[in-house]
A and B are shown apart, each in its own frame.
Chain A
Amino acid sequence: MIGFFLRRLLIAIPTILLISVFVFALQKLLPGDPVLAMAGEERDPEVLEFLRAKYHLSDPLYRQYLSWIGGALQGDLGISLRTQQPVLTLIGEKLPVTIQLAVMALIIALVIGVPTGVISAYRKGSLIDWGANLVALSGLSIPNFWLGIMLILLVSVKWGLLPASGYVSPFEDLGQSIKTMIMPAFVLGTGLAATLMRHTRSAMLGVLRSDYVRTARAKGLSERVVVIKHALRNALVPIITVTTLLFGELLAGAVLTEQIFTIPGFGKLVVDAVFNRDYAVVQGIVLCTAVAFIAMNILADAIYRILNPRMRDEQ
Chain B
Amino acid sequence: MTTLTDTMPPSRKPRSRVWRKLRRNPSALLGAVLVGFFALVAVLAPVLPLPGPMETDWMAVRKAPSGAHLLGTDEIGRDVLARMVWGAQASLLAGVVSVAIALAIGIPLGVAAGYARGWTDAVISRGTEALLAAPFLILAIALAAFLGPSLSNAMIAIGLSAMPVFVRLARAQTMSVMTEDYIESARAIGLTHMAIIWRYILPNIFPPLLVQATLTVATAIIAEASLSFLGLGQQPPAPSWGSMLNVAKNFLEQAPWIALWPGIAIFLVVLGFNLLGDGLRDALDPRDS
Tell me the A residues contacting B by CB distance below 8 Å. Answer: 14-16, 18-19, 21-22, 26-27, 29-31, 137-138, 140-143, 145-147, 149-150, 152-153, 157, 248-249, 251-253, 255-256, 259-260, 270-271, 273-275, 279, 282-283, 285-286, 289-291, 293-294, 297
Please report the C-alpha to C-alpha distance between residue A259 and residue B242 in the assembled complex, in whole angstroms.
14
Cβ–Cβ contact A279 & B275, under 8 A: no
Please name all residues of chain A whose beta carbon is closer than 8 Å to the beta carbon of B144 when the two chains form the complex: 274
Q: Is the CB of A293 within 8 A of B134?
A: yes
In contact, B252 and A157 (Cβ under 8 angstroms): yes
Bound-state Cα–Cα, A152 to B248, Å: 12
With a CB–CB cut-off of 8 A, which chain A residues contact B36?
A: none
A146-B230 in contact (CB<8A): no
Residue B12, interface by CB 8 Å: no
Q: Which one, B130, B136, B142, B231, contacts A248 given CB within 8 A?
A: B136
Asked whether, in the complex, the Cβ of B135 is within 8 Å of the Cβ of A18, the reply is no
Question: In B229-245, which residues have CB < 8 Å from any A CB?
Answer: 229-232, 245
Q: A274–B126 contact, CB under 8 A?
A: no
Enumerate chain A residues within 8 angstroms of B129, measured Cβ to Cβ. 15, 18
> Which stretch, B76-84, B169-177, B185-193, B263-271, touches the partner chain A?
B263-271
Q: B148 to A146, Cβ gap below 8 A?
A: no
> A15–B130 contact, CB under 8 A?
yes
Q: Is A279 in contact with B218, judged by CB distance below 8 angstroms?
A: no
Pick from A142, A279, A293: contact of B135, CB below 8 A: A293
B274 within 8 A of A: yes
Total residues of chain B contacting the partner, CB 8 A: 45
A149 partner, pick from B131, B135, B232, B252, beta carbons under 8 A: B252
In the assembled complex, the Cα of A293 lies from the Cα of B129 at a distance in Å of 11
Given contacts A15-B126, A270-B138, contact A146 B259 (CB under 8 A): yes
Q: A137-B278, A141-B267, A141-B270 are in contact. Are A149 and B248 (CB under 8 A)?
A: yes
In the complex, A291→B133 CA distance in Å?
A: 7
Given A140-B274, A252-B135, also A146-B267 (CB < 8 A) = yes
In the complex, whether B103 has a CB less than 8 A from a CB of chain A is no
Residues in chain B near residue A270, CB distance under 8 A: 138, 141-142
Extra contacts, 11 of them, besides A22-B131, A270-B142, A271-B141 (Cβ < 8 A), are: A15-B130, A141-B270, A143-B266, A249-B135, A252-B136, A270-B138, A270-B141, A274-B232, A282-B142, A282-B146, A294-B133
A233 to chain B, nearest CB (A): 27
Chain B residues within CB distance 8 Å of chain A = 126-127, 129-131, 133-139, 141-148, 218, 222, 225-226, 229-232, 245, 248-249, 252-253, 256, 259-260, 262-263, 266-267, 270-271, 274-275, 278
A141 to B263, CA, bound (A): 10
Cβ–Cβ < 8 Å partners of B142 in chain A = 26, 270, 274, 282-283, 285-286
What would be 30 A-B contacts, judged by CB atoms less than 8 Å apart? A15-B130, A19-B130, A30-B146, A137-B275, A138-B267, A140-B274, A141-B218, A141-B270, A142-B263, A142-B270, A143-B266, A143-B267, A145-B225, A145-B226, A145-B229, A145-B245, A248-B136, A255-B230, A256-B137, A274-B141, A274-B142, A274-B230, A274-B232, A282-B146, A283-B142, A285-B142, A286-B134, A289-B135, A293-B134, A294-B133
**Contacts of B139 on A, CB cut-off 8 Å?**
286
**Within the complex, what minimum Cβ distance (angstroms) separates A159 from chain B?**
13
Give the distance to chain A from B48, nearest Cβ to Cβ, in Å. Answer: 24
CB–CB B133/A15 < 8 A:
yes
Residues of A contacting B270 in the complex (Cβ-Cβ under 8 angstroms):
140-143
Chain B residues closer than 8 Å to A157, beta-carbon distance: 252-253
Query: Which residues on A sit within 8 Å (CB–CB) of B230?
Result: 255-256, 259, 271, 274
Question: Closest Cβ of chain A: how far from B229's Cβ, in Å?
Answer: 6
Pairs A-B, 4 closest by C-beta atoms = A146-B263, A18-B130, A252-B137, A248-B135
Residues from chain A with a CB closer than 8 A to the CB of B232 are 274
* CA of A94 to CA of B144, assembled, Å: 22
Question: Is the beta-carbon distance between A149 and B147 smaller than 8 angstroms?
Answer: no
Q: Which of B144, B252, B275 has the most CB of A within 10 A?
A: B252
Q: A153: which B residues are within 8 A, CB to CB?
A: 252, 256, 259
A26 to B140, CA, bound (A): 11
Find out whether the CB atom of B218 lies under 8 angstroms from the CB atom of A152. no
Q: Give A125 to B222 CA distance when docked, in angstroms.
A: 30
A294 to B267, CA, bound (A): 31
The residue from B136, B249, B274, B278 contacting A260, defined by CB atoms under 8 A apart: B249
Residue from B129, B142, B148, B252 whose CB has the most chain A CB atoms within 10 Å = B142
Determine if A143 and B134 form an interchain contact, defined as CB atoms under 8 angstroms apart: no
A39, B165: Cα distance in complex, Å: 37
A146 touches which of B143, B266, B271 (Cβ 8 Å): B266
User: A30 vs B153: C-alpha distance in the bound complex, in angstroms?
Assistant: 12
In the assembled complex, which residues on chain B have CB atoms less than 8 Å from the CB atom of A145? 225-226, 229, 245
